[in-house]
Every structure is written in C-alpha cells, then in structure tokens.
Amino acid sequence: MASSPSLKRSDTISGTMPEALRQSRFHMKKCFARFVEQGKRLMKRQHLMGELEKSIEDKNERSKVLDGLLGYILSSTQEAAVVPPYVAFAVRPNPGYWEFVKVNAEELSVDEINVTDYLKFKEIIFDENWAKDENALEIDFGAIDFTTPHLTLSSSIGNGMNYISKFMSSRLISSSDKAKPMVDYLLDLNHRGENLMINESLSTVEKLQAALIVAEASISELPKDTPYQEFQQRFLEWGFEKGWGNTAQRVRETMRTFSEVLQAPDPVKLESLFSGLPNMFNIVIFSPHGYFGQADVLGLPDTGGQVVYILDQVRALEEELLLRITQQGLNVKPQIIVITRLIPEAQGTKCNLEVEPIIDTKHSHILRIPFRTEKGILPKWVSRFDVYPYLEKFAQDAAAKVLEHMECKPDLIIGNYSDGNLVASLMAAKLGVTQGTIAHALEKTKYEDSDAKWKELDPKYHFSCQFTADLIAMNATDFIITSTYQEIAGSKERPGQYESHVAFTMPGLCRVVSGINVFDPKFNIAAPGADQAVYFPYTEKQSRLTKFHPEIEELLYNKEDNSAHIGYLADRTKPIIFSMARLDTVKNITGLTEWYGKNKRLRNLVNLVLVAGFFDPSKSNDREEIAEIKKMHSLIDKYNLTGQIRWIAAQTDRYRNGELYRCIADSKGAFVQPALYEAFGLTVIEAMNCGLPTFATNKGGPAEIIVDGVSGFHIDPTNGNESSNKIADFFEKCNIDAGYWNKMSEAGLQRIYECYTWKIYAKKLLNMGSIYGFWRQMNKEQKLAKQRYTEMFYNLQFRKLAKNVPVTKDELLQPAAPK
C-alpha cells in the first residue's frame, strides 16, 4: 500500500484531496468519469485502483499519481458509493479511523460528510426510498456513551483492562469520598451469605485504614508461613473476615497493597489487588449451538474450534480459580458450568445428556438445556444461522437451571458466538451479573456486503437477526475478549471484525450510525493456548504417545483406500506437509491441494497429507462441504496426485491428533494453514506447540500469532504460486542447512511459551472479571442507561426479526411429566 506522501497526521482527507485532484486534474477527470460510467454501484478498493490504473496510460505518470497523495487516499479507501455525478469515499487512514468525503465527478469538488450522510448516500444504491425516509430507524449507541472514557491511539486498542485500571485510579483519587466505593465493594463480598474480607464494623475508609495499620503491625511479628487460622480470631475482633490470604505473609502483602491503594490508588497496585480479591467462584459459560460435547463432535456441522477452546478454557480457569482460592485462605469449591443445547437426537454423541462432568476438572460441568417452543422440545440439531427464535426461552430456562444447579447467582457470565453472547446478555441483565463476550468469529465480515445486501441473504442466513444480536451483546457486555488485535481493528489494509460494526446500514431495516467503538476500553486481547498435555513438543520422547504409532502408521502409509483415508504416499522418505481443518470453502484446503499440484519443485520435495471432512459427498448435508469434496476429487485427478497425497477423513481423537502432529514433525515436515480468512486458528498453535514449523495464512489471526520468517511463515492464500514457492524454498534450505528446520521449530515453540498459553489466558480473564465487575459498580448510572437502550432495541427490533426466522418443521417432543 502507498505510504502517505505529504499527508500529515493532522491533515484531513477533505482538506488535502481538493489540491491533490487539482494537481492531476486531467487524469482525475478521466478516472472519475470511469467511476461513474456504470451508474449507481458500490466499488471496493481494488476496483478503484484498477480504474485509476486504466485511466492513466503513461507508466511514469501513473506511478507518479499512485505514489502521490491520491494513490494514498484511494489505497486507504475501503469502499466508494457511486451515485452519479457523485462518488462518496469511506477512507480508513489508520485502524479504527474513518473519514468520509463526497466528490462531484464532473467538477472534482470535495465535501466532507459525516458517517450518517455517507450511509444514507450508500443506501441510495440499494433502496432509494429508505435512504430518503426522514424517519428511517437509526441506531446510535455512541449517543448514550457519555461518561465512558475512550482510548485515542490505534496501538492501545485491545488493551482495555490496563486503561480501566488507570481510569479507575484517577476516578478514585478525584472523587470527594475517595476510596469509599472500594470499601463498599469489600463489604459486599461474600460467599453464600458469609462475609469475606471485612464486616460492617469497618464500613468507612478511616476505620478500615486504621484497622489495617494495627493488623499489619501485629502480623509482621508472626513467622511468614503462619496459617491464617492461627490469627483469624484476633483479626475478626478488628473487623476482618476471611479472604486476605492463607498465610501471614500473604495476608500482610494484601493488607499492605490495600493500604497503599487507599492512600493513593495507582493502576498497577489496583490490578494486582483485584487479581487477589475473593470475588469469583461461580462462572457460567454459554455456547448454545452446535454439538457441544467432549468426544466425537468435531467435524459435525458448526462444531469446530469453539468447542475445543471452551473445554480448554474451563480447565485453565478452574485451575487458576483453585489456586487463587487456596491463596485467599478459603475453603470454597468453584463451579464452572458450560450451558449448551440438549439435542435429543444426538447422532451417537452425548449431546442428549443433561449433565456431564468436564473431563480433567474437579468441579466443572456441561449443563444441557433443550430448545423449546410452546409446542414442545426440538429433537434435532439446528444450524447456527437458524437458532434465533429459540434463544429467549432458552435464556429463561437457563437462568432457572443455573440458580438451581449453583444454588446462587454466578459471579461472571461469559458468552460465546452470536447466540451465546445474546443469551449471556439476557441472563446477565436479569441477574445483575458481570458479563464477558467472545465472538470467535463474527459472521459479518465473512460475506461481502452482508449488511447492505441483507435482504438477499436473509432467507438463508438471517443476518438481520444475527447482526442485531451481535450489536446488543457487544453493547450490553462489560468486557469483550478477542484472540487477536485483528479481530477488533484489523490491520493497516483490512478493517477488523468489530470495526465493521462501528457504522453500517441494512437498508429497509436500520441504519447503524454508531454500533460499537473500537476505542472502547472494554476490548481485551486474551489469546487462547493449546492444551499442553495433548500438544507438546515432538522432542519430549518420554511423554510421546507411542501407543498410537501403529494406528498413525496405518493412517499415513497404508496403501489401501478405505473409509478413513484415500490416496497413498509412494516415497515415504520425503517430509510431509500437513493440514487439518473442516472442509469449509474458507479453510481453503482445496487451494492448498491446487498449489501443491501446480508446483513441481514442491512435489519433488515433500508429500501432502490432509485431514479434512469426508470423501463421499452423499454423506454430507452441508452444501459448501459437498462442493469442496467434489473439488478435492477433481484436483487429485487433474494434477495426477496419486502417490503424493494422502487425504484422511475428519479426526476426532485429540490425543491421537497431537501425536499425529508430532509424527509429521518426525518426518521433518511442516504444518500449512492456507485459509482465505481465519479468525484465530487453533490448529496453528497446536502445530507450533508440537514443534512443527508452520506456514499460515496472512489473512486474520495467524498473521499475529506468527512473526514471519522468525517463528514460522506467513503465506498469502490469494497468491498460490508465491505461497507454494515459499514452502518449497524452506524445504530446499533445510536440505542445505540441516540446522534450519530445528531453528524454526524452536522459534515457534518459544513464541508459544511467551504469548499463547492457557495459563496466561486464565489469569487475564479472571482479572478482567474482577476489574470490570468493580468498574460497572462505579458506573452504575451509565450502565443502566445503556441497558435500557439495548433492552428497547431487543424488544422492538430483535424479537420481531427472530419471529421471521422459520421454526423447525420437525415433530416436537413433549417433555416427560415430572415424577
């Protein structure tokens, strides 16, 4: 992309564009004439650049314009709405920053316009009556965000908790009653009605400060490891309850930090204090759709990384909760419940069981609640696009079940994906509990113009419902967890998934002039890890799961085609390039097959092994998957890949998969993730955890996970030749320099240990629950105002849209009568 040649940070596009147009007036007249030639339409950056290039025949002239200000403006433009004689540009000079200008193509005059006018102008292309309707519904969440401080630097996006601690300390310092909100917060802390930290006798800042001085002095005389129980009675007399720590040393440290915060709050101390407070014991996690189970579910429709993520997340959270509870000196059992849909006809999975303990945890469960209508229970799986009519009832049933199961309100509710986030919002609002949301992947950016063309797509995808649900959840929630920066604010070239909800329009339905602000400090990047008991380095010989080796040998090298694999590897001395994914178009497994087929050099160097979907299209009921299966077969024929490719059907045993990655590492091979777009990409970190050098798409999360050329490699899924040559270069280099493969393998592992572990994640998430929990109390009025607005949006808009989504035609089941 062109850099900004003479555009200063303080300059606006509307300020600089007129002069830039004037300087190249002759070419620009031609260029704008081309823009408007085809009448009303929406143009994307590549189309604009294409027209610009075609308008200037002389090569030198062309590169002068492209390297200049106009080249910069056009290459920073995400889209342009053309309604002759005007062209309105949506320019994004930096992540999160947008400017809108309207240019008259004949006169080349430029007007700055605001986002509302840009959206109205764009709507003319799709629905002129709506665009002109003065009373068209406008959604403006920004208008009620009057007290929340926002960040201003693109580089600070996603680091919300850090800034909240700063805002909190300055608020505490400047408030007239100083740290009183903290004292009130402590007074509220309890476990099942039993006071924690302090009781009513320390209800003012002064009383607490004085008591802390006395207590700290007395405790400093005790040996560091004296158990809390030994001095508990004395502390109780001063007004202190359990929760300060399990030993004299820990109690003293917590008290010292508290005293310091009461004296003069500072963000680092506040964060450290909140990470130790006993405010989190019970967590509810929602993941309604799909087949959510612990075995035999991966590969079933809509069931992929989200399930893996949540199960690992629960294990890590429980471990961290148990550690914190011990350190707080408490004897409390934490409870984590994952709430999902109960599917009576569960296709051989356990998704028809109501309660299931989560493997490798002590106190965590999956709790399944069926989708119901007033006529009965839904027996079958329902696509994630079609679940909206059932969510309100599901949320009500879930709230009742959770209270029954936990025997108290949860301390934190976390949603996953659009459906889970909506249900989490309903329940959190009802119970008054802190809420976090995780999108995994927002659907909006996956389909071009899915907002403007919603009418066309709605019968199949019900995006009107989904995007409304997304807006409600992202505004209702106290904090948002993302796996990468890209998910929020994209990259220099591409807007983030959340950023695409900042302003958009669904003509005929609503115009969202302020949907979310990516500079809101509620955004936090907390990247997941991979279970290191399953995905560990191939070099850890003692731990290798050798019992799987005969099966893996069969899976990789047996020459007979069967229901588990087709194709064979004639030369087993070659390293293997490996990929594993659902057989969705966006995963681009067929793309990788084609790159391999076309690249002789790569074919000579390595074999290709793919784990993906099925081979028989009649076994799938997913249109996209069927098309991909057929394409795979035709590519294998077209490039005559027999003897060089092994296609293995979807695998469900993660332990065996872990060993499979390691066996590929034994072959000195590599993992390739070629997706057209990947929100995060768990397989990338699984492979890296196993020590397998990894090539992954530069579109989306993997671009952040891997530092190109250092801890792995980026590949461009839209440039197959370049990507396959990059992989071939790597293997050629490995042939010359035997240490190169090891170097890349180790660098990948180092990257993982520094940034992508569940331990780091769990600490961060629990700290978020704690800090944002206090922040919401400090901002009660603002929170309530927003809640009333989202409730209205839900009641007036979402419910109406959900009613339009057809409900199942399957015969419904009647619940068994209570015994």
Report residue 309: phi and psi, to 5°.
-55, -50
Residue in 71, 160, 305, 591 binding ligand LCN, rule: CB under 6 A: 305
Contact 682, 305 (CB under 8 A): yes
CB of 636 to ligand LCN, least distance (A): 26
User: How far is the C-alpha of 308 from the C-alpha of 331, rounded, in Å?
Assistant: 30
582 contact choice in ligand UDP, ligand LCN, none (CB below 5 to 8 Å, kind-dependent) = ligand UDP
Nearer to ligand LCN, 659 or 678 (CB): 678
Residue in 305, 436, 507, 769 binding ligand UDP, rule: CB under 6 A: 305
Residue 680 within binding range of ligand LCN, rule CB under 6 A: yes
Residue 436 within binding range of ligand LCN, rule CB under 6 A: no
Stretch in the footprint of ligand UDP (CB under 6 A) among 167-175, 303-311, 425-433, 800-808: 303-311
Stretch in the footprint of ligand UDP (CB under 6 A) among 302-310, 387-395, 417-425, 798-806: 302-310
CB of 319 to ligand UDP, least distance (A): 20
User: How far is the C-alpha of 331 from the C-alpha of 118, rounded, in Å?
Assistant: 58
Nearer to ligand UDP, 120 or 315 (CB): 315
Nearer to ligand UDP, 675 or 812 (CB): 675
Residue 697 within binding range of ligand UDP, rule CB under 6 A: no
CB of 298 to ligand UDP, least distance (A): 4
Residue 168 within binding range of ligand LCN, rule CB under 6 A: no
User: How far is the C-alpha of 291 from the C-alpha of 26, rounded, in Å?
Assistant: 60
Which helix (DSSP H) or strand (DSSP E) does residue 183 occupy?
helix 180-188
Instruction: Mark 609-648 with x for binding to ligand UDP (rule: CB under 6 A) and - for no binding.
Output: --x-------------------------------------
**66 token code pair:** 């492209």
Collapse the DSSP code of 697 into the 3-class scheme (helix H, G, I; strand E, B; otherwise coil) and give the result. Answer: strand
Residue in 245, 293, 299, 773 binding ligand UDP, rule: CB under 6 A: 299
580 contact choice in ligand UDP, ligand LCN, none (CB below 5 to 8 Å, kind-dependent) = ligand UDP
Q: What is the DSSP letter of 298?
A: B
How many CB atoms neighbour CB 817 within 10 A? 5
Establish whether the linkage from the previous residue to 674 is cis, with ω within 30° of 0.
no
How many CB atoms neighbour CB 201 within 10 A? 13
The DSSP string of 255-279 is HHHHHHHHHS--HHHHHHHHHHSS-
Residue in 651, 725, 742, 782 binding ligand UDP, rule: CB under 6 A: 651
CB of 683 to ligand UDP, least distance (A): 4
User: How far is the C-alpha of 297 from the C-alpha of 302, rounded, in Å?
Assistant: 10
Residue in 248, 679, 728, 752 binding ligand LCN, rule: CB under 6 A: 679
Please name the residue ranges forming H helices in 432-499. Answer: 454-461, 463-476, 485-489
Contact 103, 89 (CB under 8 A): yes
Residue 298 within binding range of ligand UDP, rule CB under 6 A: yes
User: How far is the C-alpha of 515 from the C-alpha of 141, rounded, in Å?
Assistant: 6
Stretch in the footprint of ligand LCN (CB under 6 A) among 270-278, 305-313, 381-389, 486-494: 305-313
The DSSP string of 217-266 is HHHTTS-TT-BGGGTHHHHHHTTB-S-S-SBHHHHHHHHHHHHHHHHS--
User: How far is the C-alpha of 500 from the C-alpha of 486, rounded, in Å?
Assistant: 12
299 contact choice in ligand LCN, ligand UDP, none (CB below 5 to 8 Å, kind-dependent) = ligand UDP
Cross-strand pairs, 227: 247
For strands 694-697 and 355-357, give the pairing: unpaired
Cross-strand pairs, 678: 700
Cβ-Cβ contacts under 8 Å for 80 (sequence gap 6 or more): 35, 42, 43, 48, 87, 88, 89, 90
Q: Which residue is nearest to ligand LCN (CB)?
A: 305
User: How far is the C-alpha of 648 from the C-alpha of 787, rounded, in Å?
Assistant: 49
Contact 570, 643 (CB under 8 A): yes
Max CA-CA distance within the chain? 89
Nearer to ligand UDP, 298 or 337 (CB): 298
Residue 579 within binding range of ligand LCN, rule CB under 6 A: no
Nearer to ligand UDP, 159 or 651 (CB): 651
590 contact choice in ligand UDP, ligand LCN, none (CB below 5 to 8 Å, kind-dependent) = none
667 contact choice in ligand LCN, ligand UDP, none (CB below 5 to 8 Å, kind-dependent) = none
Collapse the DSSP code of 338 into the 3-class scheme (helix H, G, I; strand E, B; otherwise coil) and give the result. Answer: strand
Instruction: Mark 677-696 with x for binding to ligand UDP (rule: CB under 6 A) and - for no binding.
Output: ---xxxx--x----------
Residue 441 within binding range of ligand LCN, rule CB under 6 A: yes
Residue 681 within binding range of ligand LCN, rule CB under 6 A: yes
Residue 581 within binding range of ligand LCN, rule CB under 6 A: no
Residue in 96, 293, 304, 496 binding ligand UDP, rule: CB under 6 A: 304
Stretch in the footprint of ligand LCN (CB under 6 A) among 488-496, 619-627, 676-684, 753-761: 676-684
Residue 650 within binding range of ligand UDP, rule CB under 6 A: yes
Four-CA torsion 343, 345, 348, 353, nearest 10 degrees: 40
Residue 512 within binding range of ligand LCN, rule CB under 6 A: no
For strands 523-525 and 41-44, give the pairing: unpaired
Residue 773 within binding range of ligand LCN, rule CB under 6 A: no
CB of 713 to ligand LCN, least distance (A): 18
Residue 514 within binding range of ligand LCN, rule CB under 6 A: no
Residue in 118, 185, 309, 390 binding ligand LCN, rule: CB under 6 A: 309
From 281, 377, 371, 365, select the one nearest 325 (Cα to Cα).
Answer: 281
Token pair 């191939």 is at which residue?
A: 538
What one-letter code names the amino acid at 409?
A: K
Nearer to ligand UDP, 187 or 650 (CB): 650
Q: Treating both helix axes as pointing N-terminal to C-terminal, what angle do 780-793 and 463-476 enclose, rounded to 10 degrees?
A: 170
User: How far is the C-alpha of 653 from the C-alpha of 540, rounded, in Å?
Assistant: 20
Stretch in the footprint of ligand LCN (CB under 6 A) among 243-251, 303-311, 558-566, 660-668: 303-311
The contact set with ligand LCN (CB under 6 A) reads: 305-306, 309, 440-441, 483, 678-682, 701
| Residues near ligand UDP (CB under 6 A) | 298-299, 304-306, 308, 580-582, 611, 650-651, 654, 657, 680-683, 686
